[in-house]
Structure 1
Amino acid sequence: MSVSNGRQFLGIPGPTNVPDAVLSAMHRPAVDIRKGELVEITQQIKEDLKMITRSSGMPFLFIANGHGAWEAALTNVLSRGDKVLVLESGSFAVGWGEAGARLGLDVEVLGGSYQRAVDPDALEARLKADTAGEIKAILVVQVDTASSVLNNIPALRRAIDNAGHAALFLVDTIASLGTMDYRMDEWGVDVTVSACQKGLMMSPGVSFVVASEKAMERHQTADLRTAYWDWTGRLAPEHYRSYAGTPPVHHLFGLQKSFEMIRAEGLEAIFERHRLLAGATRAAVGKWAEKGEFSFNITAPEERANSVTTVLLRNGDTLPAIHDYCLEKCGLVIGVGIAALTGKAMRIAHMGHVNAPMMLGTLATLEMSFKALGIPHGEGGITAAVEYLAAHVPR
């Protein structure tokens, strides 16, 4: 017996659910890639990227996932042998650094924890010790999808400034852009990296970089530049050069619609929706944790992301049963723990095209699986989530 017949729901932290309106926007014939409508769409998407990153910087689009944008960011501002400092708070900044090491960069990791945000004081101390200015760039994520930590980007910028250091500040916003506040110019970020498949509600395949004036200056002397990723080549006047070849036509149609939806809802309303749905999720997890089987991976409430919640299990052996039950019996795909948390955690996404029925359904299905499988958990998680939303969403 199952109750899974119907539309399967994707509860993972990327790719996220693509709205029907976006799917429909892609369902049309291709058009001329050299002039006309597609040129206008590309220009509008670039303006939308400046809007959502709150930046006056230079946007670039890549036919690639987020790992491609990582490489694009590094190769355009750095040279072989340059030292970069990676700020660890989970898996993804470290992964970005590993990609840099393969390119020939000298990578140093400022050790951190999967349970806490990056410590600005530790960053400031390390930069003050770098009296020779060997560190050329600092890599960090705003939200780490593995740990679900939220890093304080303005505080990290202040640490760099307090140290009087000239390193470029590179921030990965793949798991945060379009779900919470981000202010590239105001926060002094030199390169912003993102991708379309999470908060931007689009099928994977396009990623982005926005470069500050300082980053564009460093680009002029970078010797890791390659033909495909090179920013200079993508600034040529011919439209196809923006993509180093044929544009991703139907992805652009979809992104155009995604940004139309974002503008219609408004950034502040989007951020508030994510905050509320994250709060409901945390209310449920807090109740489930009362029996000791479940716990928040991020210990400090103020460091928990509004896009994803990572939940630790004392007995990881029950995870496959939870995932299988949710999928096979109920039609819900729930996120698995990854990297150091493989086999130890589940990840509940609340990002992108998601509302209260979607989120409450996800949480209720999880609680249903705990009951059906006999997994110890505190009662009343769904009631707590409903009460949270009822208290915070006015009539």
Structure 2
Amino acid sequence: MQQHTGRHFLQIPGPTNTPLPILAAIAKPTIDHRGPEFAELGHEVLAGIRTVFKTGNPVVIYPTSGTGAWEAALVNTLSPGDRLLMFETGWFSTLWSKMTKCLGLEAEVVKGDWRTGVNADVIEAKLREDKTRSYKAVAVVHNETSTGVTSDIAAVRRAIDRAGHPALLLVDTISSLGSIDYRHDEWGVDVTVGGSQKGLMLPPGLSFNAISDKALAASKTSGFPRAFLAWDDMLAANANGFFPYTPSTNLLQGLKVALEMLHDEGLNQVFARHDRAANATRTAVRHWGFDIQCVNEAEYSSTLTAVRLPEGHSADELRREILARANMSLGNGLGPLADRVFRIGHLGDFNNLTVAGTLSGIEMGLKARGIPHRKGGVEAAMDILGGNWPPAARAAE
């Protein structure tokens, strides 16, 4: 196997780089998950995670991937045979709809083109047509990781309200939480699904359900059998800082530090940093002469950019070339986008130099593969990044 010097650039759209302070917290000795030290940790992370979701309501933390939190959102609020309205925006919205079928739910999926986000007007029209109120939930993805498209969740809530429909609103924020502004309470979301391995800068292994009062009421009449994913047992134990079964103790120690890091930087500054990186990346991509998978500027993702290569050129071969030569990993195309696009992750723990280095590696890879492009994409991006150079630290007097 080829040996590389220097750091590995992990520039996929998650899992993301885990900062050293978080790794150090995870590496601390495991503590008694039934003892007073853990109760203090439990209270702290359960309160802290609410600030990232921007909710005053409970957030349940599971020792699972985001897929487990998807399932929890469904089985705690719905019953077998219930109808949902879903919107196809890419690979992950498709996987979520497939899960509903496995659970015996009936999902009507509005077909999409994998280049645009949720159309709130279509949601409203569908709900207005539902005179019998058979839809029990609307389930959408906030930031589609496969396409780099961000949907307007506030617009979806307004559409549901205009239709006067009682359906719950379920939202996946796995690749946006902690990186793109999201407001669970303000936008009237009933269940928000999140994961640890992206904007929260942790390894995979934790996932989340932020729960509205309406969702909690729905859980009392849900017809699904559930044990591991049940909200009631979890919330009862959480009230004292504990969990109903063995939690991911060391990951929770890392979560405490991750929350501290996000708040030390300031969430608005975190969002601005992601916006700037995304803008610089798109500037480079357009300079090179390539299309961005997302076609609407208002829906551009701030956590990743999916890049379409010209016909006849393999995105996977480019990724392999860059990995071999520059020790940098980029995201692959998923589903119908396989080998057609590559995805640049710019989320989590990074700075301006990380972005510049990532784009330099891509431009070198384009040259090595002989893919026609206009040189100077990195320099074009640096005009964006350099204009936001942080102030120099003052020398000690």
| TM tier, smaller | over 0.9
Name whichever of 133-142 and 41-50 sits farther off: 41-50
The answer to whether the aligner puts 1:24 opposite 2:24 as a matched pair is: yes
Offset, 1:297: 0.4
Instruction: Write the deviation string for residues 42-73 of structure 1: whole angstroms up to 9, x where unpaired.
Output: 22111122101111121111111000000011
Are positions 1:358 and 2:354 aligned together? Answer: yes
The farther-off stretch of 200-209 and 93-102 is 93-102
Which residue number corresponds to residue 265 of structure 1? 265
Distance 2:312 2:224 in 1: 43
Q: 2:395: which partner in 1?
A: none
Q: Which amino acid aligns with 1:179?
A: S
Separation (CA, whole Å) in 2 of partners of 1:92 and 1:377: 30
The worse-fitting range, judged by mean Cα deviation, of 235-244 and 327-336 is: 235-244
| Distance in 2, Cα, partners of 1:227 & 1:310 | 38
Q: What is the letter of the counterpart of residue 196 of structure 1?
A: S
Query: Which amino acid in structure 2 is aligned with residue 348 of structure 1?
Result: I
Determine the structure 1 residue equivalent to 2:287: 287
User: What 5-or-longer segments of structure 2 have no aligned partner?
Assistant: 392-397
Other structure's SS at 1:236 match: helix
Partner of 1:347 in structure 2?
Answer: 343
TM-score normalised by L of structure 2: 0.95
Please state how far the C-alpha of 1:94 moved relative to its aligned partner: 2.2
* TM-fit CA distance, 1:37: 1.7
Q: What is residue 380 of structure 1 aligned with on the other side?
A: 376
Q: In the aligned structure 2, how far is the partner of 1:112 from the partner of 1:152?
A: 15
2:90 equivalent to 1:90: yes
Specify the alignment match of 2:72 in structure 1.
72
TM-score with structure 1 setting the length: 0.95
Q: Counterparts in 2 of 1:133-282, with a 5 A limit? A: 133-237=133-237, 243-282=243-282
Secondary structure of the 1:187 match is coil
Q: Contact 1:308–1:347 at 8 Å: present in 2 too? A: yes
Identity %: 40
Q: What is the count of residue pairs matched by the alignment?
A: 390
Report if the CA contact (8 A) 1:63-1:205 is conserved: yes
- Please say if residues 3 and 331 of structure 1, whose CA atoms lie closer than 8 Å, have aligned partners that are also in contact: no
Q: 1:242 to 1:73 in 2, by over 3 A?
A: farther
Bigger drift between 37-46 and 259-268 goes to 37-46
Relative to structure 1, the CA distance from residue 22 to residue 241 in structure 2 (aligned partners, 3 Å threshold; closer, same or farther) is: closer
1:329 aligns with 2:363: no
Return the alpha-carbon distance in structure 1 between the equivalents of residues 239 and 24 of structure 2: 25
Superposed CA deviations along residues 6-55 of structure 1, whole A, max 9, x for unmatched, are 11110101100000111111112111110212122122111122101111
In the TM superposition, what whole-angstrom CA distance separates every residue of 1:88-141 from its partner, at most 9, and x where no partner exists?
Answer: 111212211211111111111012220111111111100000010000001001
* 84-93 vs 213-222, greater mean Cα deviation: 84-93
**Residues 394 and 28 (structure 1), Cα distance of their counterparts in 2 relative to 1, 3 Å cut:** closer
Q: Which moved more, 1:349-358 or 1:30-39?
A: 30-39
**CA displacement, residues 275-307 of structure 1 (integer Å, 9 cap, x when unaligned):** 001111011001012xxxx31101111111000
The two structures, once aligned, show a CA RMSD in angstroms of 1.7
- State the distance in 1 between where 2:292 and 2:22 align: 34
Aligned to 2:59: 59
- Does the aligned pair in 1 maintain the 2:148–2:301 contact within 8 Å? yes
Distance in 2 (CA, whole Å) between partners of 1:240 and 1:64 is 21
2:74 counterpart SS class: helix
2:188 is paired with a residue of what secondary structure? coil
Cα shift at 1:236: 2.8
1:325 deviation in Å?
1.7
The alpha-carbon deviation at position 316 of structure 1 amounts to 5.7
Contact 1:316 1:345 in 2 (8 A): no
- Secondary structure of the structure 1 residue equivalent to 2:329: strand
SS, match of residue 229 in structure 2: coil
8 Å contact kept, 1:196–1:204: yes
How far has the Cα of 1:147 moved from its partner? 0.9
Distance 2:149 2:358 in 1: 21
Moved more, 239-248 or 34-43: 239-248
- Asked if the contact 2:87–2:139 (Cα under 8 Å) also holds between the matched residues in 1, the reply is yes
Partner of 1:34: 34
Contact 1:145 1:175 in 2 (8 A): yes
- Determine if contact 1:233/1:241 at 8 Å carries over to the other structure: no
d(CA) in 2 for partners of 1:238 and 1:13? 31
